[in-house]
Every structure is written in C-alpha cells, then in structure tokens.
C-alpha cells in the first residue's frame, strides 16, 4: 500500500492590485488540492501577502521560511511542494534558480500546468515552467505600463487629483462621486485641492521672500522665529518620524516648496519615478530593490489647464526656477559602495541630549555614531544640543566587551547562568502566544487605518508599501502563534559548560564574525546612551531569549 504524500502548499498574493488575500489563497489552495487529492494532502501552508512577484524567494518571508524547512532533512514536515498558480510563484528566471534546491534536498514540486510532479529530467517540463516565469514577468510589465499610461492621461487631459498627501498650503476637498462607476457605487469620492487658510499665506510668503533675495536658510530661520509651524508640525499625524524637530523649519522644506509646480494651479504628475536596481550586480539571483528618483522636468506630465486655485502665478514660479537653476552646483557622480558598512551597535546607540537614535557614519576609516540636530530645531525644542554629536565605535566596544565578560568570570558566572535559564523558562507557551495575539491585533488596526487612508485619497503606492510591511509583520506573528510551544530550556549547569568551553570571553567576542557579534548585542537587549557633556556611555541590558546562532564556534 502506497503511503500518502505530505505536501506543503505555497502561494502568493499582491495587495498592489487590491486583491483579497483570503479569496486568492482559497482558490490557489483549492487548485493545488485538486491536483494532489489522490496522492496525499496538504500538511503545511506558506502564503506570502503583499510581496511582489519580482522578489526572489529568499526575500519573501513565507517563501524564505519554506526554503529553510526544505533544508531540514531529518525532521522536515512534508515530502513535496505543491503550487496552485506557478505564475504567482515564479517570475522571470526564478524557477531555474529555485527548483535545483528542491531537487538537491529530495523534495518534489507539483504544479497543475504539468499535471502533477515536475520531472527534473524532462526538457518539456523545464520549458513549460520557464514559459510561465516569462509570462509572469510580462504580465507585471503590462500592468505597470497600463497604470502609468492611464495616470498620465488622467493628469494631462482630465487634471484629476491622483492621490497622495496634499502639498503644504493645500487641503483635500470633496469633488463629487468617483469617476469609476464601480468605485462610485461603493461610496468612494473624488477629491481636489483647495487652499489651506493657515498654510497658503506661508507659501506665498516663501515665494515672495525668495524673489526679494532671501536665501533658503534665511527664509527658514525667519519662519521659525515668527512661530510658524513647519510642514511636519502643521500635519503631525503624517510626520511622526519628525516629532523632534519642534516645529522648526529646515531649508530643505523651503526648497521643496519652491520647486513644487502644483502651486501654479496645475496638476503635475511623474515628478518622480521608480527604478529597479540590482541588489548585488555580482549576484543577480538576489533580485532588485526599488529606488525613487527625480525625473527631469521634460518628463513631467502637466494638466492642459488649471485644476485648482493657484497660490502663485506661473510667471512667478518660472522666475524662481530660473534663479534656483543658476545657483545649482554640478554634483559629481555618486560611487556605489560595494558592501554595506558594518556597525556593531547599529540601532542600539542613543543620544543622551535629545533621546534620538544615533546614525552610523564612517569617518577617517572608523565607524562612528552621530546625532545631527540643527540649531533652530534645538532652540524650538528647548534643548542645548550641538549641531552634530559624534562617538567613535572603537571607543565604546572594548569597554563594552570587558563589561560583558565580567558577567562570565568565576565570581559571576553562576548568577549569570541562572538568570539566562530563568529568561528561557519565562518565555513559555502562553506568554509567547499572548504576545503574538497582541501583535496580530495591532497589525489589524494598522491595516484598517491604511485602508481608510487609501479610501480618503492617499497615494496608492505609498499605502501599498505600508500595508506590505504590516502584512509581513502579521504573518510572522501568525506563524509564531501557530507554532508556539514551550522549548526545552537549558539548565544553568548546561549553560555554564558551554560558556566555559569557549574560553576567554573578550577574545571570543573580538574574534567573532561582526554580523553575529552585532546580533548578540541586539539579543542581549543592549541600549547605550551617549552623554557627551559627561563623556560617558550608559549601558543597559534587558536579557531576551537569544536566537540560535554561533559566536566563537558555539
């Protein structure tokens, strides 16, 4: 009697084209189940939501998890992988880069398009699967062309407001029923721009002062001194990441306003574009990353006539552009870094003056951490903060390692091992499940807010990015909830045996791989606060359950 095969189902849905993830998963799983119904059953599900098909499998959360499980030869929970719609799973050359991994680990691949198992020795099967990868790439490109062409036409001939946050100086106003009958039937409305009574005079003042000879910084400082809220302070709900500015104006905000052609009353689209750059030119399999770049002015799409009330006339705007163009310096081409800089304390170092996280910066061959805070920001926030605060990494890490090593010296090792064991024991099933449920609930609230923003006229591209991040976080929490089981907590004696086997802890940390070393610092819950006035770093540690990994060979 033939034993039934255990199948893992993989599917994917993108929220960019507003598909319903639940119904999409249902029909893909149904199609896969029909294919294997006489051979076995699905025992594990992997379904990516909000992930572009152009991303390679290693960069999709659920596909990456599937690949990790495929490598588990001894305790793999399935024997084969079934895909209900290969055009959603494979893009371009992804089949040729992924299928050999399955063959190597002895995992079969089943798809409806070949009527069952994909034969690795069949040229016909390889041709069919490669064909679907090409069709998937062509479909995505056709969608991009259709959307861009439609939006360009709507901006040029209809002057339609295409979404996104309104420019500073305007606010959204109702413009009647949505022109799409289906969306209108759902109650969706069109929007238009109208002058904001508080912000519109500020925009006119900026243009007038610039034509009177004031520089960008002078204008920004004058607005700050007069107590006028900056764009981020004027709309704080959408600028929570800039809460430390204190409402002060930056010269970059003034420049952005002076460059924005929508103040002339015209709808202008395609000022920016999305480029897809290779993550690593030497490893094409890693795929592309999307970068936003500015288009040249000849690529902008202008409406045929005014679509909303102008804050400045076209002649004034063109005069400002001519003056600004005469002041532009020619920049040298940027040189791409071959690899990312390694910062051992990335995300763990904070400024003791303002409380913000310090950013990594390489200077004179040394990794450093800096906190930049413009004078007008500091004054507005009531802080005594230098324009830039620096701290070299090599001034901190040796002392940090020495402090950590003290936790494992003969006088403290027993207490340390007991605390570590207690941390593992405290992370029981109920606690992890409750944390996962809280994360899922918060993600659901965020998704509801993002959908509301989309219906209110927010830029679909921006909202899709937000929803993709939240959906990925929800998937991780959902998986944690499904698999939450108490682990076998190591005893203090077992921990001591492992630690003593490593030898001198300072040497172990110094010789460890930088990436693993940084993960260890993060797992220890370190938070370092630099107090430049005292020239001291306050170190706090909140022990968490350290993830599996190897530091110094153990």
What distance lies between CA 253 and its chain's CA centroid? Answer: 24
Identify the pLDDT of residue 457: 61
Whether the Cβ atoms of residue 313 and residue 351 lie closer than 8 Å to each other? no
Does residue 353 carry a pLDDT above 90?
no
C-alpha distances in Å from residue 395, one per residue of 366, 514, 530? 10, 17, 11
- How far apart are alpha carbons 391 and 358 in whole angstroms? 9
- How far apart are alpha carbons 128 and 390 in whole angstroms? 57
**Section 312-317 average pLDDT:** 94
Locus of tokens 């009353």: 265
Checking 130-133 for CB contacts under 8 A at 24+ apart, the result is: 130/93, 130/95, 130/96, 132/86, 132/87, 132/90, 132/95, 133/86, 133/87, 133/90, 133/91, 133/92, 133/93, 133/94, 133/95, 133/96
**Section 513-532 average pLDDT:** 82
Residues in Cβ contact with 216 at an 8 Å cutoff, skipping those fewer than 6 apart: 210, 251, 254, 255, 258
Phi/psi region, residue 227 (left: phi>0; alpha: psi -120 to 50; beta: rest), is left
Give 150-176 pLDDT, tens digit per residue: 777 777 776 677 777 889 999 988 878
Closest CA to 102 of 78, 127, 86, 134: 78
**Section 63-91 average pLDDT:** 91
- How far apart are alpha carbons 197 and 390 in whole angstroms? 42
Across all residues in the chain, what is the average pLDDT? 80
**Section 472-486 average pLDDT:** 70
Does residue 281 carry a pLDDT above 90?
no
Identify the pLDDT of residue 350: 92
**Section 502-525 average pLDDT:** 74
Q: Give the β-pairing of 170-177 and 189-195.
A: antiparallel
Query: First vs last Cα of the chain: how many Å apart?
Result: 45
Residues shown for the chain: 554
The DSSP code sequence of 27-90 is HHHHHHHHHHTTTEEEEEEEEEES--TTS-GGGSHHHHHHHHHHT-TTT-S-SEEEES-HHHH-
Out of 32-41, 397-406, 533-542, give the one with best mean pLDDT: 32-41
Does residue 552 carry a pLDDT above 50?
no
Residue 188 in 3-state DSSP?
A: coil
**Section 336-349 average pLDDT:** 71
- How far apart are alpha carbons 383 and 210 in whole angstroms? 29
For residue 357, the 8-state DSSP code is B
Identify the pLDDT of residue 554: 38
Locus of tokens 């064909």: 131
Identify the pLDDT of residue 474: 82
The pLDDT-based confidence of 454 (bands split at 50, 70, 90) is low
What distance lies between CA 3 and its chain's CA centroid? Answer: 44
The pLDDT-based confidence of 10 (bands split at 50, 70, 90) is very high
Phi, psi (degrees; rounded to nearest 5) at 402: -65, -40
Does residue 523 carry a pLDDT above 80?
no
The pLDDT-based confidence of 28 (bands split at 50, 70, 90) is very high
- How far apart are alpha carbons 403 and 539 in whole angstroms? 10
The pLDDT-based confidence of 545 (bands split at 50, 70, 90) is very low
Helices (H), 279-373: 314-326
Does residue 46 carry a pLDDT above 70?
yes
- How far apart are alpha carbons 388 and 530 in whole angstroms? 13
Does residue 47 carry a pLDDT above 60?
yes
Whether the Cβ atoms of residue 43 and residue 79 lie closer than 8 Å to each other? no
The pLDDT-based confidence of 425 (bands split at 50, 70, 90) is low
Does residue 263 carry a pLDDT above 80?
yes
Considering the entire predicted model, what is its pTM?
A: 0.51
SS (H, E, C) 467-481: HHHHHHHHHHHHHHH
E strands of 88-210, at which residues?
Answer: 108-111, 116-117, 170-177, 189-195
**Section 336-356 average pLDDT:** 76
Helices (H), 385-428: 397-406, 413-426
The pLDDT-based confidence of 546 (bands split at 50, 70, 90) is very low
Higher pLDDT, 7 or 300: 7
Identify the pLDDT of residue 162: 77
Does residue 325 carry a pLDDT above 80?
yes
Identify the pLDDT of residue 332: 53
Identify the pLDDT of residue 173: 86
Identify the pLDDT of residue 323: 92
Identify the pLDDT of residue 503: 63
**Section 40-57 average pLDDT:** 90
Give 103-154 pLDDT, tens digit per residue: 999 999 999 989 999 999 898 898 888 888 888 777 777 877 787 787 777 7
Residue 431 in 3-state DSSP?
A: helix
- How far apart are alpha carbons 16 and 143 in whole angstroms? 11
Closest CA to 383 of 369, 368, 396, 371: 371
Does residue 326 carry a pLDDT above 70?
yes
- How far apart are alpha carbons 349 and 526 in whole angstroms? 9
Higher pLDDT, 407 or 56: 56
The pLDDT-based confidence of 462 (bands split at 50, 70, 90) is low
Does residue 486 carry a pLDDT above 80?
no
Percent of the chain beyond pLDDT 70?
Answer: 80
Percent of the chain beyond pLDDT 90?
Answer: 27
């Amino acid at each position: 009697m033939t034993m039934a095969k255990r199948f893992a189902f993989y599917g994917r849905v993108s929220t960019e084209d507003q598909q319903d993830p639940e119904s999409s998963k249902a029909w893909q799983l149904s199609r896969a189940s029909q294919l294997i119904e006489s051979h076995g059953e699905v025992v594990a599900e992997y379904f990516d939501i909000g992930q572009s098909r152009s991303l390679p499998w290693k960069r999709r959360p659920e596909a990456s998890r599937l690949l990790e499980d495929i490598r588990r030869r001894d305790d793999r929970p399935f024997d084969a992988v079934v895909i209900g719609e290969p055009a959603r799973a494979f893009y371009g050359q992804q089949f040729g880069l992924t299928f050999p991994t399955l063959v190597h680990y002895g995992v079969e691949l089943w798809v409806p398009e070949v009527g069952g198992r994909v034969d690795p020795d069949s040229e016909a099967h390889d041709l069919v699967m490669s064909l679907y990868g090409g069709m998937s790439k062509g479909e995505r490109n056709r969608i991009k062309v259709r959307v861009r062409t439609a939006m360009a036409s709507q901006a040029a001939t209809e002057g339609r407001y295409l979404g996104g946050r309104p420019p500073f100086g305007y606010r959204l106003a109702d413009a009647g029923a949505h022109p799409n009958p289906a969306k209108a039937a759902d109650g969706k409305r069109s929007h238009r721009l109208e002058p904001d009574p508080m912000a519109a005079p500020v925009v006119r003042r900026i243009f007038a002062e610039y034509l009177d000879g004031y520089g960008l910084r002078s204008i920004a400082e004058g607005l700050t001194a007069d107590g006028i809220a900056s764009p981020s302070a004027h709309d704080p709900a959408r600028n929570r990441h800039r809460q430390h500015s204190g409402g002060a104006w930056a010269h970059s905000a003034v420049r952005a306003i002076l460059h924005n052609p929508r103040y002339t009353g015209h709808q202008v689209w395609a000022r920016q574009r999305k480029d897809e750059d290779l993550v690593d030119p030497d490893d094409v399999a890693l795929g592309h990353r999307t970068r936003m770049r500015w288009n040249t002015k000849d690529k902008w799409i202008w409406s045929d006539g005014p679509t909303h009330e102008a804050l400045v006339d076209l002649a004034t705007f063109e005069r400002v552009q001519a003056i600004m163009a005469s002041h532009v310096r020619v920049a040298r081409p940027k040189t791409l870094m071959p690899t990312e800089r390694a910062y051992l304390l990335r995300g763990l170092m904070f400024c003791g003056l303002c409380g913000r996280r310090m950013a990594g910066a390489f200077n004179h061959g040394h990794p450093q951490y800096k906190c930049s805070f413009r004078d007008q920001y500091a004054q507005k926030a009531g802080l005594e903060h230098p324009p830039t605060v620096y701290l070299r990494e090599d001034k901190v890490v040796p002392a940090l390692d020495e402090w950590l090593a003290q936790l494992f010296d003969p006088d403290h090792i027993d207490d340390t091992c007991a605390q570590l064991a207690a941390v593992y024991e405290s992370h029981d099933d109920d606690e992890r499940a409750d944390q996962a449920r809280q994360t899922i609930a918060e993600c659901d609230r965020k998704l509801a807010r993002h959908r509301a923003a989309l219906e209110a006229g927010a830029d679909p591209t921006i909202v899709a990015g937000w929803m993709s991040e939240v959906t990925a976080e929800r998937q991780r929490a959902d998986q944690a909830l499904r698999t939450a089981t108490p682990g076998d907590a190591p005893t203090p004696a077992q921990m001591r045996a492992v630690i003593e086997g490593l030898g001198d802890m300072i040497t172990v940390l110094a010789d460890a791989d930088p990436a693993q070393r940084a993960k260890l610092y993060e797992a220890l819950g370190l938070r370092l606060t630099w107090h430049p006035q005292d020239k001291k770093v306050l170190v706090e540690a909140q022990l968490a359950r350290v993830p599996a990994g190897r530091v110094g060979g153990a």
